Amino acid sequence: MKRLLPLLVLTFWAHYGVAQDKPAIKWYSFEEATALNQEDPKMVLVDVYTDWCGWCKKMDRETFTDDQVIHYLNENFYAVKLDAENNGEKFEFKGQEYTEASMARAMRVSSYPNFVIIDATMENITQLPGYRKPDAFIKDLKETIERFGKE
């Protein structure tokens, strides 16, 4: 028994340490993405979701955990999550005050999930509505960068 306990602790520690190394999308707040964009311009991908949206949860579970999606988003975009029903904390954008819900309305988002792409000058350029599998999502993002140019 005395030998078993250290072995179990070591096994748990090794498993926990490996799990921490799994790559993940770096999600920013709207304010963080705006500030980072001023230092190093990139397009911003805004994932507009709601807590009750089943397809949003499927995107989180399946698409946003895909290694290629993680790498592509982290490399080419500042990724932002925006809860379309959150009227809590306020933030400023282009001299206007918004909540996440009022920003979603200002972006004219009416279905979920919806991915609003903002260019490096912080102008909305397109929306990609609906659930997408990893390969289709990367394809759509690449086409967006090709169409609108990477700033």
CA–CA dist 51, 95 (Å, integer): 28
- Please report the DSSP string for 86-134 in residue order: --SS-EEETTEEE-HHHHHHHTT--SSSEEEEE-TTS-EEEEEES---H
Task: Give the mean pLDDT of 18-34.
Answer: 86
**CB-based contacts of 46, cutoff 8 Å, min separation 6:** 30, 80, 81, 82, 107, 115, 116, 117, 118
- pLDDT confidence of residue 81: 97
Counting residues of the chain whose pLDDT is more than 90, the rounded percentage is 76
The domain locations on the chain are 24-148
Residue type, 31: E
Decide yes or no: CATH 3.40.50.150 for domain 24-148: no
Could you read off the pLDDT of 48-83 as tens digits, one per residue? 999 999 999 999 999 999 999 999 999 999 999 999
